[in-house]
Amino acid sequence: MKFTLSWLKDHLETDASLDDIAKRLTMLGLEVESVSDRAAGLESFVVGEVTKAEKHPDADKLQVCTVNTGTATMQVVCGAPNARTGMKGVFAAVGAYVPGIDVTLKKAKIRGVESSGMLLSEREIGLSDEHDGIIDLPESAEVGASAVEALGLNDVVIEIAITPNRGDCLGVRGIARDLAASGMGHMKVMSTDPVPGAFKSPISVTTADESVCPQFVGRMVRGITNQQSPKWMRERLLAIGLRPISALVDITNYVTFDLGRPLHVFDADKVKGNINVRLATNGEKFLALDGNEYELDDEICVIADDNGPEALGGVMGGEASGCSEGTTSVFIESAIFDPIRTAATGRKLNIISDARFRFERSVDQAFAAPGIEIATRLVLEICGGEPSEITTAGAEPKWQRDIKFRPDRVKQLVGVKVGRDEMVRILSVLGFGVSGDGDEWTVSIPSWRADIVAEPCIVEEIIRVYGYDRIPAVSLPRDGALPKPALTQEQALRSSIRRTLAARGMVEAVTYSFMPSTDADLFGVVVDAVRLVNPISSDLDVMRPSILPNLLAAIGRNDARGFADGKLFEVGPQFSGDGSDDQELAASGVRSGAAAPRNWQEAARKVDAFDAKADAMAVIAAFGIDVKKAQITDAAPSWYHPGRSGAIQLGPQNVLAHFGEIHPGVLKKMNIKGPVAGFEVHLGALPKPKAKKSQQRPMLRLSALQPVERDFAFVVDGATPAADVQRAAASADKKLIVEARVFDLFEGKSVGEGKKSLAVEITLQPVQKTLTDEEIDAVGKKVVAAVAKATGGVLRS
Amino acid sequence: MGNSDKLKSDLLAMVEATTTLAAVEEVRVSALGKKGALTDAMKGLGKLAPDERKAAGQELNAVKDAVTQAIDVKKTSLSMAEMSARLMEEKIDVTLPTRPEEKGCIHPISQTIDEVVAIFGEMGFSVAEGPEIEDDCYNFTALNIHEDHPARQEHDTFYLPGQGEKGRKVLRTHTSPVQVHTMMSEKPPLRVIAPGRTYRCDYDATHSPMFHQVEGLVIDKSANMAHLKGVLTDFCRAYFGVDDLPLQFRPSYFPFTEPSAEVDIGCTREGGEFKIGHGDDWLEILGCGMVNEKVLENCGIDPSEYQGFAFGVGIERIAMLKYGIPDLRTFYESDLRWLRHYGFSALNVPSMTGGLSR
């Protein structure tokens, strides 16, 4: 919402400085977005008259102008095509700074002719981008007078942001009222006395019902001349960014911004029959003032005559009955439209207008009738003519209501004590009625404040005007001297998962929760429920079923920039449906290219499934789970390499994680070089950490006896999982064997076709006494027997 | 000079003359070995008369001690020299690089959330969470934003095709629905923060379709706007590390709070350099207010008994301000150079006692 300082002062009697007004507006909740003093820097420019313009002797496109500046006569060389004898323009003397071209003028010779000063274009004074010619001031401009004055720029423009609840401040008078309440001056009286009608309006109005248009006030003015509106009005409209059109249209715009009262004017001669405010019929067509034709439906309010819809109620007028320079009879509309219906119409037809903006935020419910009197006065003043009597349909809506207000609530809710007299003063200036005393008052709400619906609204009004800066800052008292943990154990473990992966050399990424469906489709079945109805782009059209595609795409982008070998992870949500149980938290990561950069000691190694497996196991361990208790299987989803991937499970049903090399076919479709190894840990599947009764660790029993290691090599079938051999060996003697570890794998002719040799190191921990050779041999035999039984493996000879 | 003296000087000379450990060993064998000169001489003692034998024996023992000692000394000095020589041969070029180790890092969004949690945790808040695909009701209606509310148009909501029990499925536009769930499921007093992902259908230099918020909620019998000012002042000062950071509370409007406020922090742009702290300028960083009575009622809390406040802060916004990150969109691009530049060490865990940021 824009307005000018002088405009504000039409309504507010004040001595306050611009700076104080701007600061107070912001502190009232009317946030100042800009204050532009358009005259700043232009003070030295004056109105100059070109008394003679002659062609430059040595240049086709230049003219030599003699300029009367009121105090002197100057010779100026000018390149503007519109410079001509008798015109009045904006003159800048030698020594003046011209902001639009960032130049301080000096006396100069242009193609041998002396030039002292300059006639300026709009761009040169920083008013607009217009540079086709110099400013052509009206004949009436006084030679030697300040150019700022002549251009109507001596009025500061203030722009404020209006929150959706403050429809009453979409007119300058409402803003003045807030300022007055906060002690920045006094409201000026505004006349809304009825203008007597000279005849009965030949156009009468009917309305369908209250939900469409509760009140419609109309009046005809005949015998008018619709010329240009006066300079003061044009200047104000221009200052707030509105293009002056004609007196009638300008008046409606002016009253809209001055009083927050939208109006519409019909060319009365183009209205056929009487006016009926009704709902449109489905498929009815309407040509609006913006030049577009709209197809209407039966929820849209139209103002219609015998020709059909002439305006969209509260939104926009129509082309057919619009006013033009030839209009001699005008029918003025001042009506009240339903906010919800107006908003819905605007949304449906995608029309944004100053009227819609006000009606959907609710206008002053008691101002339709006074509004038309003010409009009539302006029409009579500017266009002349003879007014009819008022014609009205419907009635002023019943807006009167009271709210019980306990003055103590201010202190309770806001923490600051405001004096009762001050509360009454603030409410009264804002237009509220206050009655009763003691601990419960009755506050009546003014017709322009539909946003005030409950007691806290009144508290807000008081404290907003009293000043938020007068509320003290009081630290929140805590329950107990020391804080309790802010995170649940699970939340804290999640944080340590991130830090575990980062400590393992991986870089954390945060990627969008949505992704292209073309990528998502490579990662399982994407249900329709997670396809966005209104995606920001087709590249981000489904909720991600997995984090991996986003990380893979990032690997591809980094590679394209010359940074291969990315190691990225993300801990975040993924979606299998739109229910709250369908959102799963996953810790996923990818490693691409070389496991580590090549170096002079070791050859570079490509990443493989075991890198991803180690990451996944580290995540699971970081969640406090003993990974040794988990089983590794070779079952993994389709986006992994079918022979180089697996799952980490607790029991046959509970899959904690998948890991492996990403399927080369998937990489190819996503245009990624690879190899890439990835993992996905399903954090929801991890057993929840149990609340411990005690933090005590089990008793530590240290053996004084040295552990003993023995190595075995087994030849097994090539398809036998190493884990089976390891598990069989480890469980051969549960008392003595504390660890069994596969430390070598050999495949070759010497062990037989389709066979492999796995070497296992067994660690024995004697408990009571040092083991004898016979005892160790006995355990060895058990190991061999156990492995043979479990896998058919035989000791390698 | 007797025989023993000669033997001594001969043997010592032989020891002295050696230059390798092997030669020393040879000398030892030739002197002290089974067939060594000294051993021979010892054997000859038996032939002597008993009175001579004693004196000669003593002499030979002295010779043996002297030679043994000389051999030990020689051995030590030679082995030291040998080790020195060997070590010199083992010399490496220590300017060669070490085996590569990769350094990972934590994303600034995670780090900032950890910082925020550390501060609010100290003030007695706990962390609440909720789904990101919400029913319309929890995202809007329960928060006093009905279907036709003008504020609803400003939310640029992403819609999903489904219909939940409580209205159309939407991507949450703020983390406020977490507050709704908390109020519906827990009894006051409440003191929670809800950090998390939020979504709005908007994309330009200062808007991302996904971003992060942390919202806070305090409900009890006496929490008022002065406390709200206190909490946010304490938070901003701790987070930005400016003890006397000025804050300005301005009246504003949100459907779910009343009275509502927007909060600015002091800053200066003198000399083209942006700095947070005392200055001539203000920068808006968050919105807040007293929880609207209707919202309390919608969530089953009796407004005649309880009251409280709520606030919401953009995580990326405060991270950008604190760490000088110029562009919002870069947070989600996963550019390794960006992540390493703006990321944090895994071991840099923010806490109020150990320091928020190092």
Q: Which tens digit of pLDDT belongs to each residue from B227-282?
A: 999 999 999 999 999 999 999 999 999 999 999 999 999 999 888 888 999 888 89
CB B328 within 8 A of CB B211: yes
Q: Between B106, B201, B250, which is nearest A536 by CB?
A: B201
Helix, strand, coil percentages (3-state) for chain B, rounded to 5, are 45, 25, 30
Q: Between A28, A479, A498, which is nearest B124 by CB?
A: A479
CB B143 within 8 A of CB B172: no
Is the per-residue pLDDT at A578 higher than 70? Answer: yes
How confident is the model at residue B151, as a pLDDT? 64
Is the per-residue pLDDT at A137 higher than 90? Answer: no
Is the per-residue pLDDT at B1 higher than 50? Answer: no
Is the per-residue pLDDT at A569 higher than 70? Answer: yes
Burial class (CB in 10 A: 0-12, 13-18, 19+), A661: buried
Euclidean distance between CA atoms B258 and A414, whole angstroms: 10
The complex's ipTM works out to 0.89
How confident is the model at residue B222, as a pLDDT? 94
Is the per-residue pLDDT at A468 higher than 60? Answer: yes
Q: Which of A312-326, A330-344, A683-697 has the lowest mean pLDDT?
A: A683-697
| Domain B108-342 class in CATH | alpha beta
Residue that wins the pLDDT comparison between B333 and B34: B333
Interchain CB distance below 8 Å, B148 and A474: no
3-state secondary structure (DSSP) of residue A554 = helix
Average confidence (pLDDT) over A118-147? 85
Q: Which residue of B has its CA nearest to A464?
A: B251
Chain B residues within an 8 Å CB radius of A530? 133, 160
Q: Which of B122, B160, B254 is best to mutate for the A interface (most A CBs within 10 A)?
A: B160
Chain A residues within an 8 Å CB radius of B104? 501-508, 567
- Is residue A464 less than 8 Å (CB to CB) from chain B? yes
Q: Which residue of A has its CA nearest to B251?
A: A29
Average confidence (pLDDT) over A371-400? 95
Interchain CB distance below 8 Å, B229 and A471: yes
- Is residue A597 less than 8 Å (CB to CB) from chain B? yes
Band of pLDDT at residue B155, cut at 50, 70 and 90: low
Chain A residues within an 8 Å CB radius of B109? 510
Chain B residues within an 8 Å CB radius of A28? 251
**What are the residue boundaries of the structural domains of chain B, listed by start?**
2-90, 108-342
Give percent above pLDDT 90 in chain A: 76
What phi and psi values does residue B207 have, to the nearest 5 degrees? -130, 140
Is the per-residue pLDDT at B150 higher than 70? Answer: no
How confident is the model at residue A99, as a pLDDT? 87
Q: Which residue has the tokens 């010399």?
A: B91
Average confidence (pLDDT) over A515-538? 92
**How near does any CA of chain A get to the CA of B8, in Å?**
51
Interchain CB distance below 8 Å, A475 and B234: yes
**How near does any CA of chain A get to the CA of B86, in Å?**
23
Is the per-residue pLDDT at B313 higher than 90? Answer: yes
User: Tell me, what amino acid is at B36?
Assistant: G
How confident is the model at residue B114, as a pLDDT? 96
How confident is the model at residue B36, as a pLDDT? 84
Residue that wins the pLDDT comparison between A209 and B87: B87
Band of pLDDT at residue A591, cut at 50, 70 and 90: very high
Each residue's pLDDT tens digit, A223-272: 999 988 998 999 899 899 898 999 999 999 999 999 999 999 999 999 99
What is the reported pTM? 0.88
Q: Which of A69-73, A274-278, A453-457 has the lowest mean pLDDT?
A: A69-73
CA distance readout (Å), A511 to A514, A537, A543, B134, B210: 8, 16, 12, 20, 9
Euclidean distance between CA atoms A458 and A443, whole angstroms: 8
Mean pLDDT over each residue of chain B, to the nearest integer: 91
- Rounded to 10°, the helix B21-32/B3-17 angle is 160
- Is residue A500 less than 8 Å (CB to CB) from chain B? yes
Interchain CB distance below 8 Å, B102 and A573: no
Number of other residues whose CB lies within 10 A of the CB of residue A714: 25
Mean pLDDT over each residue of chain A, to the nearest integer: 93
Radius of gyration of chain B, Cα coordinates, nearest whole angstrom: 43
Helix, strand, coil percentages (3-state) for chain A, rounded to 5, are 30, 25, 45
Band of pLDDT at residue B153, cut at 50, 70 and 90: low
Euclidean distance between CA atoms A30 and A12, whole angstroms: 16
- Is residue A536 less than 8 Å (CB to CB) from chain B? yes
Residue that wins the pLDDT comparison between A418 and A123: A418
Read off the DSSP letter of residue B173: S
**How near does any CA of chain B get to the CA of A642, in Å?**
28
3-state secondary structure (DSSP) of residue B37 = helix
Is the per-residue pLDDT at A315 higher than 80? Answer: yes
Interchain CB distance below 8 Å, B129 and A463: no
Cβ neighbours of residue A276 closer than 8 Å, sequence gap 6 or more:
A205, A206, A207, A208, A303, A304, A305
How confident is the model at residue A125, as a pLDDT? 84
Q: Which of A12-16, A687-691, B193-197 has the lowest mean pLDDT?
A: A687-691
Burial class (CB in 10 A: 0-12, 13-18, 19+), A762: buried
Chain B residues within an 8 Å CB radius of A571? 110
Q: Which of B245, B254, B320, B334 is best to mutate for the A interface (most A CBs within 10 A)?
A: B334
Is the per-residue pLDDT at B95 higher than 70? Answer: yes
Average confidence (pLDDT) over B52-59? 84
Is the per-residue pLDDT at B148 higher than 80? Answer: no
User: Tell me, what amino acid is at A795?
Assistant: L
User: Tell me, what amino acid is at A550?
Assistant: N
Q: In the A/B pair of chains, how many CB contacts fall below 8 A?
A: 269
Q: Between B106, B117, B292, which is nearest A487 by CB?
A: B117
Q: Between A508, A537, A558, which is nearest B105 by CB?
A: A508
User: Tell me, what amino acid is at A129?
Assistant: D
Each residue's pLDDT tens digit, B17-40: 999 999 999 989 988 888 888 888
Average confidence (pLDDT) over A156-162? 95
Q: Which residue has the tokens 């150079």?
A: B337
Q: Per the structure block, which two tokens stand in for A521? A: 């489709």
Q: What ranges in A691-751 are assigned the alpha helix state H?
A: 722-730
